[in-house]
Amino acid sequence: MIEIRGLTKVFGEHRVLDGISVDIREGELFSVIGPSGMGKSTFIRCLMRLLKPDAGSVKVDGQEMASVTSEFTLAKIRRSFGYLFQEGALFDSLTVFENVSFGLKYLTDIPKSEYPRIVREKLALVGLKDVEELKPAELSVGMKKRVALARSIAVEPKYILYDEPTTGLDPVTTGMVKDLITDMRKKLGVTSVVVTHDMNLALEISSRVAMLNNGKFVEVCEPACFRRSDNPEVREFMRISHISKE
Amino acid sequence: MRSAFAEKVGREFMDLAMAMGRTALMVKSVAFWSFRSRFEAGEAARQAVKIGVDSFTVTALTSFFTGMVLALQMGQSTKNLFNEPIYVGTMVAFSMLKELGPVLTSIVVAGRAGAVVTAEIGTMQVTEQIDALYTLGTNPTRYLLVPRYLAFMLTLPLLTVFADFIGVIGGCIVGVVKLHVPTSVYFDDIFTYLSISDFMHGFLKTYFFAFMIATVSCYKGLNTRGGAEGVGKSTTEAVVISMVLVMVLDYFISAFLVAVGV
């Protein structure tokens, strides 16, 4: 479980996260929605401590992230996370095989002889095969996303963080990524956190949805309850997303 | 008006002080990771090829023609003064080994390999690949910076030795063909007047230059912001700063080495 209490992040004068408190429960698919530039990515970056919060606490399975000072301990905690970046963030200079096996090399003690089997298995899980020797530049946007997802699940993390997983994708690839996210949860039983501005995606796949606005969660509840919300900020965002109240 | 100017100057100084502080922290981190983790031999070798081997042709051409023009100018000047081209080999070798070999090689490496390193790390920064390294349990300093520092420190001195040699050969060709100085005289002039400390004077400087170029290139790459435009800006800045610092450092290191008798 990830316990978040009073999470605050300030950039200059701008309070991007302003005392957020929420628990992300085991096995759930928790989505954070909100307009662009409202701090959604900052929120998940703080969970993995890619960004250091200015105040508040993030506990991952009881371990307080802020108290970790050793780079080695932090790397061990990060072992339980997979992170899907908005653009994939695949390493350009490495092949698909090297990208997917990267975490195995640095985060696990799995012998090298096992890498080809694991890489093949994870690529198959995201619907890809025979792409091991290709470089990221030779892949389509959708394939890049899938390879990036294979890379993040290669070490079998407990949590997967998705940063705007469908941004810039065509409707077909968006549908495919949506299926992948739900599949990952079903097949691997992972806890997922998705940040997105795609309200349809969030309402369709999530077990709970939170709306981030002006540094705070203005609403946190299940999709059905979210659709019925009377919160004006939620209503406005739903109106813009062409979603009507149930 | 005056206060706006003072504010601008003050801000520039603050930015410079912060950049120097961040650079010091980066260097400290490189020192830490150099001894605290398994060594990325494959990555270091790849970088050594990219930085050293790929810069060889440009370095060789630059030093060859520098040696040639040095011999031509020295020979012509001494011919005008003494009716004979004298000490051509000595002059060429002194200039190449102590100054032009290390300085020109460093400038070529800063312009070519330094730019590549900044652009590569900068692109990784703006496309979140640096963050991806953290998520995969790898510190970017360990994976990216340490191998590049090592590659610069290994290849720049080696390239300089080649540049010295090629420059002296270039001078010899002009000396023999154009100035009609016998080869034996040309090399005899070199071996009579040059000592190993003259070679060391230039050679030792390259370690400082290599360290400086690696630091500037990596720092600028890691601090790239703003997409493709930012990468271009960082790369240009890295090359300009490295080239200027080669000149500035050259004077101070030379003064120091002269003072300690090298």
The partner residue sitting opposite B136, judged by closest CB among A86, A87, A102, is A102
Residues 96-125 of A with CB under 8 A from B: 102-103, 106-107
CA dihedral A185, A159, B128, A12 (to 10 degrees): 120
Asked if A83 and B135 come within 8 Å (Cβ–Cβ), the reply is: yes
What's the pLDDT at A75?
81
Nearest to B30 by CA among B111, B121, B104, B116: B121
Q: State how many domains chain A has.
A: 1
The partner residue sitting opposite B136, judged by closest CB among A92, A93, A103, is A103
Residue B73 lies in a domain: yes
Residue A48 lies in a domain: no
- Residue ranges with strand state E in chain B: none
Q: A55-109 pLDDT, tens per residue?
A: 999 998 888 888 887 877 888 888 889 999 988 899 998 999 999 999 998 888 8
Nearest to B104 by CA among B243, B217, B257: B243
Residue B167 lies in a domain: yes
Residue A220 lies in a domain: no
Residue B225 lies in a domain: yes
What's the pLDDT at A246?
57
Q: What is the sign of the dihedral through the CA atoms of A50, A54, A59 and A65?
A: positive
List CB contacts (< 8 A) between B135 and chain A: 48, 50, 78, 81-83, 152
Q: How far is B124 from chain A (nearest CA, A)?
A: 8
Q: Which chain B residue lies closest to A86 (C-alpha atoms)?
A: B128
Residue B90 lies in a domain: yes
Nearest to A101 by CA among A129, A93, A110, A72: A110
Q: B78-121 pLDDT, tens per residue?
A: 999 999 999 999 999 999 999 999 999 999 999 999 999 999 99
Nearest to B58 by CA among B151, B163, B150, B212: B163
Give the domain extent around B122.
40-259
What's the pLDDT at A175?
84
Q: Are the C-beta atoms of B70 and B167 separated by less than 8 Å?
A: yes
Chain B contact for A225 (CB, 8 A cutoff): no
Q: B38-61 pLDDT, tens per residue?
A: 778 888 999 999 898 989 999 999
What's the pLDDT at A244?
63
Predicted TM-score of the model (pTM): 0.87
Angle of helix B146-177 relative to helix B196-222, nearest 10 degrees? 140
Residue A146 lies in a domain: yes
What's the pLDDT at A233?
83
Residue A105 lies in a domain: yes
Chain A contact for B127 (CB, 8 A cutoff): yes
Asked if B136 and A50 come within 8 Å (Cβ–Cβ), the reply is: no
Residues 6+ positions from A110 with CB-CB distance below 8 Å = A104, A118
Give the domain extent around A89.
81-156
Chain B contact for A11 (CB, 8 A cutoff): no
Mean pLDDT by 10 residues, chain B (262 residues): 82 92 94 82 90 92 96 94 92 95 96 95 94 90 93 96 96 95 94 92 95 97 92 96 96 93 80
Residues 129-168 of B with CB under 8 A from A: 129, 131-132, 134-139
Quote ipTM for the complex. 0.86
Tens-binned pLDDT, residue by residue, of chain A (246 aa): 899 999 999 998 889 999 999 999 988 999 999 888 888 999 999 998 889 899 999 998 888 888 887 877 888 888 889 999 988 899 998 999 999 999 998 888 899 999 999 999 999 888 888 899 999 999 988 889 889 989 988 988 999 999 988 887 778 878 888 888 888 888 888 899 999 988 888 888 899 999 998 888 988 889 888 888 888 888 888 787 776 655
Q: Which chain A residue lies closest to B136 (C-alpha atoms)?
A: A103
* Pick among A78, A100, A106 to test the B interface (most B CBs inside 10 A): A106
Q: Which chain A residue lies closest to B132 (C-alpha atoms)?
A: A89
Asked if B135 and A48 come within 8 Å (Cβ–Cβ), the reply is: yes
Q: Which chain A residue lies closest to B141 (C-alpha atoms)?
A: A71
Q: State how many domains chain B has.
A: 1
Residue A54 lies in a domain: no
Residue A91 lies in a domain: yes
Residue B47 lies in a domain: yes
Q: What angle do CA B107, B113, B115 make, to 5 degrees?
A: 90
Residue B22 lies in a domain: no
List CB contacts (< 8 A) between A48 and chain B: 134-135
